[in-house]
Chain A
């Protein structure tokens, strides 16, 4: 019964909430009416947008020493998670069989282990910094903590089910993924889709005013 629910209706429901929620959020940003900028352009908005999208991948020299741990852990976590999500053999197989109809070469097992180490260590360090740094703690919301913990649970249940020998462990992982999918559109996890448009928007705004930021 539980197996049927998790593999069937709950999976489709969570997928629908995720897709519709993400599209809704993105559409609400795209179609949001802002004030028309009547000022005379002093620079190229497009160039500013592109520059900002790429320049923000590295921290400003002035603040880099203060956030070195955050930057290194951030890259470890995000790159590790990206590799796990799209190149872990069970995920590639799942995407091929259940969603896309085609697959690609998965990463070898040793690479999977390394990627998961990076992702786990990065996430633990990032969450600890959020908790231990007074400024980070002050600006963190419940949403930030829930998102971090939920992501950790998804990663952990996935790794515990690595042997693929127990249905219960696989179901536990899939159930945690479904919770994450439902939570995703209404949380800070939306930065997965909004971080590039957000950078581009800010960059365009600065670029049009001729600000070198």
Chain B
């Protein structure tokens, strides 16, 4: 059977099913009538002929079933009939239908969520070059330490002076960056009457250099923007934030935002897909960590009780508020799997 014949048969049998069935019925009944006449011609009475014809032919429905079974697309046809029946039955018992659909939806939803999470956290790699060279720093609990580790025994936050010390310790072997976990800032766009909350991070001047992220427009923050004793009111925004709140307009570089009441100037936009290094803690705004005081930023910190939190934190060695990320290039280590333990710092 050629493909063309097969397709046209399938078309007739499925799409014009009713007509095909009607024709079949006409055909079989016509033969039935002819059979009766044949027997009448042979000498039977009409009644006898009818009965004999019935015996010889069998039930018309049975013959028609037999033909339907061998039709091209019989399997598909049966499937469609079954689906129709299933739908009709479901409509008759809506309670059951709702329960079944809800259960399936819940199961599928839960599965999708978990795999999406897994994909974001485990399978996708960071949109930065040589992501396997990046490590997060933590130190082990010193004795008599305050409640900073969340029970893990690992301290992921460092004070600024400690960050500087570690930066010197790494020296030429790598780069070290400091960043706060993202938190929401109250941001008012130029010309807007209402403020919105935007997730942002305060970062060191080495942040973008360590990650290897450059701006698609303007520039990213560098070491000149983050110096102790200076207040550089600059900011870098994400591509998503640029598209969402500025409509992707070309004139955004140089515009000022009011962040927690402080006017900062936008100097650059990061590439699409970059939202910081933590998939569970995305950010759309990056500002120098020297702005911690002017912004009245008070998140992501832990301290010994003796620390004075009202002063700018940049000089405080007892307020641990910065997460550290290092890039340790390895000459031999190329594949993601071969880099293992991160270096730990101990003072």
User: A and B from one assembly?
Assistant: no
Give me the interface of B with A, judged by CB distance under 8 Å.
none
Give me the interface of A with B, judged by CB distance under 8 Å.
none
